[in-house]
Copies of this chain bind each other. A is one copy, B any other.
Amino acid sequence: MSGYTIITGSSSEDVRFPLEAGAGSDAVHTNPIYAYAVCKLKTKAGWEGVGLAFTLGTGNDLVCRVIDHLAQKIEGREINELMSNFGTVWHSMAEDPNLRWLGPHKGVIHLALASVTNACFDLWAKSRGVPLWKLLIDLSAEEIINTLDLSYLEDELSREEAIAMIEKESAGVEERKMILNSGYPGYDTSVGWFNYSDEKVRDNALRAMDAGFLAMKLKVGSNDMQRDIHRVELVRKTVGKDVDLMLDANQQWSLPQAISICSVLKDISPLWIEEPTHPDDLLAHYRLAKEIHPIKLAMGEHLPNRVVFKNYLQSGCMGYNQVDALRVGGISEFITISLLSRKFRIPVVPHVGDMGQIHQHLVLFNHIVLGHEVVFLEHIPHLSSKFRNPVKIVDGCYQLPRSPGSSAAFLK
């Protein structure tokens, strides 16, 4: 058997999907295409490991080239042996002395590491014939921690603490497995893309309610603040009081703008305000969070690694943690950040560069094993026809994925 689970070769693929007019648009990204830098790990068996990193097209080829470079380092390794100590492997790739200069731990090189890492987890689950969520929830605390790199977190999360955290949560695991029957709730992120007209926003909001979603998101951050407020009020009027509304500014505001606009938007009681300003500006978020209390800030879509997440959590300004396993260094660093977030009691509500394909597995793990509360998982429908096993939403809930692996493969 084991000969079939050796990584015999690797390759990258540059996959790009143009979007329909207006879809995916926000205050910063006016005409996006969705692109994936795909890592493929070959075996002698019939299946391969597939990993994804997400980009908006330009430069996707650069990520692919770094994938080629990194994936070579794990060729010849047996997947179960590799994953038994994956934290060390990941560390050596992340700390490559020369590549490191191009980060460290951010940008093109870190996106490539995400794709390679995600391919390893996909292959690992496939080698055991189980969906990723099942693989992950059946691991021991020690096996989980062995897949992580906890360096630069020594002030907050030692290996021993991390193991103890998971073991402490084990008492509630069986009860939390109920989520496998009910399905994890989703929220509709496609109600109010930036370029959509009022009619389209209203129709989308109604359609989202009909589909069972109890939360939806609207893009804000236009130059005309009145337009933002108008759109928010339009949706609130359309869906009523019982639906959660989230507002996403996509880094469009300066701190003074954010303070002044959010002080108005907070009257509409959004569940969160997302990416108000530059993602590197920890102190601006810290100040803004104080100003708009009790409204929460959500961020993480553009935070590159566990060190930055640690700072955001330590500072207390992160209300919702939107880590994306296709932005940070893959599933491994996603789990590390989820552990940190659990310690600080901040919910993880991932940004889904993967359209939820991989994250539907990860939120189940976060809830069942780490004891994270159930919130809801972003749902972006635009590429559902492209995946081999697209996410399935019924009554606003993600249905349990059952095929082996991480659901990352595209149709041929």
Contacts and interface: CB of A to CB of B under 8 A. Distances in A.
A128 interface: no
A282 B309 CA distance: 11
Interface string A254-285: 11110000000000000000000111111110
Interface in A302-353: 302, 304-305, 307-308, 310-311, 314-315
Contact of A98 (B32, B65, B307, B314): B32
A155 B276 CA distance: 14
Interface string A43-78: 000000000000111110011011001000000000
Given A62-B62, A104-B278, A154-B255, A56 B307 contact: no
A97 B96 CA distance: 29
Given A278-B104, A281-B307, A281-B311, A255 B155 contact: yes
Given A29-B98, A97-B29, A59 B281 contact: no
Contacts of A59: 66, 98-99, 101-102, 108-109
Contacts of A101: 29, 55-56, 59
A55 B281 CA distance: 25
Contacts of A105: 278, 280
A146 to B, nearest CB: 19
A152 B102 CA distance: 23
Contacts of A251: 104
Most buried by B among A105, A106, A302: A106
A56 B254 CA distance: 35
Interface string A151-173: 11011000000000000000000
A198 interface: no
A12 to B, nearest CB: 13
Contact of A62 (B65, B97, B314): B65
A108 B37 CA distance: 16
A103 interface: yes
A28 interface: yes
Most buried by B among A30, A62, A152: A62
B102 A111 contact: yes
Interface string A71-113: 0000000000000000000000001111111111111111100
A195 interface: no
A31 interface: yes
Contacts of A257: 154
Interface string A127-156: 000000000000000000000000110110
Contact of A308 (B97, B277, B280): B280
Nearest to A61: B65
A302 B104 contact: yes
A105 B155 CA distance: 28
Contacts of A256: 154-155
14 contacts: A56-B97, A58-B69, A58-B98, A59-B98, A59-B109, A62-B66, A104-B279, A104-B280, A105-B278, A106-B107, A108-B109, A152-B254, A152-B278, A281-B311
Given A105-B278, A105-B280, 12 more contacts: A28-B95, A28-B100, A29-B101, A55-B101, A58-B102, A59-B101, A62-B108, A102-B111, A104-B278, A155-B287, A280-B305, A280-B308
